[in-house]
Structure 1
Amino acid sequence: MASPTPLPPVKRHITLNSPTNPQASSFIPNDATPPTQPIGPGSQLTYIYSSPPSFSIDKNTDLEHHNKTTAGAFPAAGGSACVIVDSAPNLEGAEGPMHKTQSLDYIVVLEGELELSLYGGEGKEVERKTVKRGDVVVQRACMHTWKNLSKTEHARMVCVAVGSEGAVEGGMEFLQ
């Protein structure tokens, strides 16, 4: 299937540790193309990796969890997930829905300019910040929305999410 975005395809490389030699490592063969899912016209989420709340690298429990997970953007408490989000050009300047996850997110903008909007509460203004290529956001379980500021170019960001107390895998809360 063709990618809905003109940005280069994402390649994923996962390492393995040798079960017989604790100093030897290798790459998982043929694992360069991670799965994607559409999240709107011309936009997609690429699933890189996720881990359960508690795991052993030596016993590969993280790898077993990863192999059973097809899209892990929102981890359970203590778990982690890494995704890449490609956002289509925004011809109308539309905003997505305000939402919140119970996670601590480390977000790096790789391409383009995005606007991060934070809900200030009933009767308060929405706070907005332009986030540019190379900028990093530490997003702490806040009610928010993202929007691509360009009408002509795609934007790309990588997000590493760590589930906080009370987080449920796949859980997302929307503003009522």
Structure 2
Amino acid sequence: MGSTVADNGKLSDLPQQRRFVTAHNEEGKAVVHSHQDLEWRAYDADQLAFSVVYTTSSTPPDLNGDKDILIHQGVMESGQLGLVNPNGSVLRYVDFKPGYRCGMHRTQSLDYGIVMEGHIQMVLDSGETHDLKRGDIAIQRATQHQWVNTSQTEWARMLFVLQECAPLYVGGQEFGEDLGKHSELPASRKE
């Protein structure tokens, strides 16, 4: 399991992000329920940092009585959140140290990966490589891949939305989660 990042609450030199969660008052008007700086966890010898912004645990999520907020808090307090949240979604920032190359991996999920800062290279197990810049989006469909920060001086940041998907079969073979060398990353649990 990763370690909580100390000092300024983050590992990289990229700006600290804040989360604002809205709700409704008794008159049905929109209000901010809570806001806070994001918390970060370091992995892979401080070359990678995660910040979970929000989770849902059902589709569609139930917002009545702030049920989704309470469930999210429970998921985070449990310490059991893997890369993917069963039956739900995970919104997560990921910071990549300059020159960092994560291991080849696959999650059983449909992911939207948006480059927020820097440049990142997407490498697929077929050997394909694609360079992504700020604003580019990768739609990862349970594919084996890795991320490479090609800069030797600048951190890169991506924002991911991960949604659990049905088991994937290709040529009769099931392709499930494979964290490769990332044994310290939180494996997704099944329900």
Report the counterpart of residue 8 of structure 1 in structure 2. Answer: 15
The two structures have a TM-score, normalised by structure 2, of 0.76
Cα deviation code 1:111-164 (max 9, x no counterpart): 1111111112xxxxx111111111111111111111100000000110011111
The two structures have a TM-score, normalised by structure 1, of 0.82
Aligned-partner SS, 2:72: helix
Q: Distance in 1 between matches of 2:18 and 2:157?
A: 14
Give structure 2 stretches of 5+ with no counterpart: 1-5, 169-175, 182-191
How many residues were matched structurally?
A: 161
Report the counterpart of residue 164 of structure 1 in structure 2. Answer: 165
Report the counterpart of residue 84 of structure 1 in structure 2. Answer: 93
Q: Distance in 1 between matches of 2:134 and 2:97?
A: 16
| Structure 1 residue ranges, 4+ long, deviating more than 4 angstroms after superposition | none
Q: Distance in 1 between matches of 2:50 and 2:180?
A: 22
Q: Is the 8 A contact 2:49 2:94 kept in 1?
A: yes
Q: Distance in 1 between matches of 2:32 and 2:83?
A: 23
Q: Distance in 1 between matches of 2:166 and 2:67?
A: 21
Amino acid at match of 1:36: W
Aligned-partner SS, 1:28: strand
* Map 1:65-80 → 2, pairs under 5 A: 65-70=71-76, 73-77=83-87, 79-80=88-89
Q: Distance in 1 between matches of 2:67 and 2:178?
A: 28
Percent identity, aligned pairs only, is 27
Report the counterpart of residue 144 of structure 1 in structure 2. Answer: 145
* Map 1:55-74 → 2, pairs under 5 A: 55-70=61-76, 73-74=83-84
Q: Distance in 2 between matches of 1:164 and 1:99?
A: 16
* Map 1:14-163 → 2, pairs under 5 A: 14-18=21-25, 20-21=26-27, 23-29=28-34, 31-40=35-44, 41-54=46-59, 55-70=61-76, 73-77=83-87, 79-90=88-99, 95-120=101-126, 126-163=127-164
Aligned-CA RMSD value = 2.1
Amino acid at match of 1:9: Q
